[in-house]
Homo-oligomer: A and B are copies of this chain.
Amino acid sequence: MKKQLGASDTFFPVPATLVVSGSGNEANIITVVWSGIVSSTPPTIGISLYKERYSLELIRKTGEFTVNIASADLVKETDYCGIISGRKTNKFSDTGLTPLPGAVVKSPIIEQCPYNMECKVVGEIVETHIDEDKIVENKEKNKIEISKVNPLTYCAGIREYWQLGDKVGDAFNVGKQLIAR
């Protein structure tokens, strides 16, 4: 039995990301849960911010930002950065999160976040970083171990943070069982 909820922006689960804009002492962190890849070539990410956000001002000024995926142990810091405006406070100092210089853009990445993307407007991903201890290097390419990354996820509408549990399958593989049918 289905129940109609009306038009709703409830959507889940999404990565809880920390977006850094500006640079130096002006660098600011905002929690962004409305983000997603929009193109593969070039790798491009879209993020949605309310018009009045300070981060939007900074991104318009510099044309650059970083997207940092929080791990589940950063739940307090992540929630904090979504509650407080950076116009009045320095959220790096407030949370103890550490800015690390990126390789391409001037906005820093966040050291404590296991996965970090450097981006230029319109959202082109120009460099990506991962904690070395979260990958297994093999012949072909670096394999990210999701259980070590332990990404923080967000359930919009329900306003809950969750972490991942178990792997349930390999993509482009588990579905092949239905091809024979």
Q: List residues of chain A with CB under 8 Å of any chain B CB.
A: 1-15, 34-40, 42-46, 48, 69, 72, 75-84, 94-95, 100, 103, 109, 111, 115-117, 124-133, 135, 142-144, 146, 149, 151-179, 181
Contact = CB atoms under 8 A, between A and B. Distances in A.
A146 B168 contact: no
A111 to B, nearest CB: 8
Contact of A103 (B4, B83, B124, B162): B4
A10 to B, nearest CB: 7
Contacts of A13: 13, 15, 146, 151, 153, 164
A81 B72 CA distance: 30
Given A127-B6, A155-B146, A95 B170 contact: no
B94 A7 contact: no
Given A144-B10, A169-B79, A48 B37 contact: yes
